[in-house]
Amino acid sequence: MKIRCLRFIIFLLITGYWLFLPASFAEEEKIFEIKAKKFSYNPSVINVRKGDRVKIRLISEDVTHGLYIDGYELNTRAFPGQDGSISFVADKRGRHAFRCSVTCGEFHPYMIGYLNVGPNARFYVFMFLTLFLAAGSFGLIIFRKED
Ligand SMILES: [Cu+2]
């Protein structure tokens, strides 16, 4: 009886896990509004996780500015009163510089920001739970023999 009860609990855990899975590990959408002004971006550093869908809205507060992301080779422009936008999946890890792609004045070359793409912790949680449940399933097989 005790074993049967335990087996049922494990069954519920496994079923719950697989039902819960698609929602919890779905990609996250991250939206940023970056204000460009001679000669900086605000914010100048944005952090995402690998696999996130990233949307960047570029707003110019003075003259025309651009935003080019190194490594992703993506570019957009923002005119005064007309925003630029970029959307992409952050599939490359690491620190990527983004820089102004429109010559906007004497300090234009120093107009730089950073996109940090960190590890996807959700992936490791997923792996851990999968191994844990695999061990649980293995336990079920052993219990069955004793029944
Ligand atoms: Cu600029």
3: left (phi over 0), alpha (psi -120 to 50) or beta: alpha
User: Residues 86, 74: contact at Cβ < 8 Å?
Assistant: yes
What are the pLDDT digits (tens) for 31-80?
999 999 999 999 999 999 998 999 999 999 999 999 999 999 999 999 99
Element (H, E) at 124: helix 121-146
Average pLDDT over residues 5-12: 82
Ligand 1 center–CA 45 separation, angstroms: 16
Check whether 98 has a pLDDT greater than 70: yes
How do the domains of the chain map onto residue ranges?
2-25+124-146, 29-123
Q: Which residues surround ligand 1, an ion (CB under 5 A)?
A: 65, 100, 104, 111
Check whether 15 has a pLDDT greater than 80: no
Domain 29-123, CATH class in plain words: mainly beta
User: Residues 100, 65: contact at Cβ < 8 Å?
Assistant: yes
* pLDDT recorded at residue 11: 81
Cα-Cα-Cα-Cα dihedral of 78, 83, 88, 93, to 10°? 60
Instruction: Note if the pTM is more than 0.75.
Output: no
Ligand 1 center–CA 114 separation, angstroms: 15
What are the pLDDT digits (tens) for 124-145?
787 888 888 888 888 878 877 6
